[in-house]
A = this chain, B = another copy of it.
Amino acid sequence: MDTPQYPHVSSIDTPALVIDLDAMQRNLQRMQQFADQHGVRLRPHAKMHKSAVLALQQISAGAVGVCVQKPSEAAAMVAGGVKNVYVSNEVIALSKCELLARLNSGLAVQNGRISVAVDSLLGIERMAQAMESLGAQAAASAPMDVYVEIDVGQGRCGVPPGMAALALVLAISQRSCLRFAGLQAYHGRAQHLRTAAERRAAIAQVVQQVQHTKAALEAAGISVPLVTGAGTGTFMHEAASGVYGELQAGSYLFMDADYAANQADPAQLQFEHALFVKSTVISRSSTATDDRAVVDAGHKSHAIDSGLPIPWAGHGADWVFSNGGDEHGILRGSHLPELGDTVWLVPGHCDPTVNLHNQMVGVRGGLADGYVERIITVDARGALT
């Protein structure tokens, strides 16, 4: 179906970030179904796709809202119509807290909300100050949901598991403009532990630390409304724990080469690659010492923080991609593609790859012979603050 309105995939200029919409849709439904079957909420992480329309698609399918990492991402989601956004990260600057307070107030009339994570008394103090600057009535009628983050092995943000959370929870409880919403417990590095056994063991530790924290809070008379966390590598373990009530997986929607390098867990849901970089061979060299094809996609097209991209399996080729710099990639192997040929690449890491692009090209009917159905704007591209 090649019409001016629905151009054939072959007409997409390169490099381009392309979504296989059929695979994406299956991934979306597969994860929502899993969450429903396990009686847990799904709050996909929008730091991955940074697109309000995709967040809304996830919410239409049953997600409770989305997560983001930065206040400016929250603003982009809200501007795009998303009504429930959780900033699963610490916010210290008063101006950022004020932004979140204003967004929360605006969403309240639509039954929506902003929530935020804290791991310090200063963070709580600043958020309360920002809420109160809205005016006492506004602040009290739509309190900000606040999650206390515990460090469950990431070694980054969060207070240590156990008693440390109590002081923060008490500080939140003393402010009518804030509401203790639960615990944020995400182990980022566990997501890419390569063996299924390692991931299982890591989350078993995480769950222990969460339970230890819950017990400390309950001993002080505080119940924990919700535990939220998990990622695409481990979510089945959090879901099965009986402790987590909400999953924040994000990458499952698109997947990437780094996740593909994880040893699959037979018990784990499989997701399909739905994100690709379309590239073109712009140079071809066959000398006594080297046979190579150079494509026009380098690390300004696909993030390499977690490894280089891999050629799409659909090429049925043995090509190996090596780093050609910002704007080039070098392929070696047999039956290399020729000048002008298309090469589809699976990016190493989906989140920062999306962040390199202003838009994503949504293709229906597959990479080989599909057509462009829609352009998806990366609304929160470069939303770092």
Contacts and interface: CB of A to CB of B under 8 A. Distances in A.
Interface of A: 13-16, 47, 69-70, 89-93, 95-96, 119-120, 122-123, 151, 155-160, 188, 280-285, 287, 290, 292, 294, 296-297, 299-301, 303-305, 323-328, 330, 339-340, 351-352, 355-358, 381-382, 384-385
A342 B98 CA distance: 19
Contacts of A16: 384-385
Contacts of A95: 13
B157 A283 contact: yes
Contacts of A156: 283, 294, 324-325, 328, 330
Binding site secondary structure of chain A: loop
Contact of A339 (B89, B120, B296): B120
Contacts of A159: 285
Chain A to chain B: the 9 pairs with minimum beta-carbon distance, closest first? A157-B283, A90-B282, A69-B327, A13-B385, A15-B384, A92-B282, A358-B382, A122-B339, A299-B305
Nearest to A382: B358
For the complex formed by this chain, how many copies does it contain in all?
A: 2
A355 to B, nearest CB: 5
Contacts of A326: 47, 69, 305, 351-352, 355
Given A13-B93, A300-B355, 14 more contacts: A13-B385, A15-B385, A70-B296, A92-B282, A119-B283, A122-B340, A155-B290, A157-B294, A157-B328, A299-B305, A305-B323, A326-B355, A358-B381, A381-B382
Contacts of A297: 384
Contacts of A158: 283, 285
Contacts of A151: 285
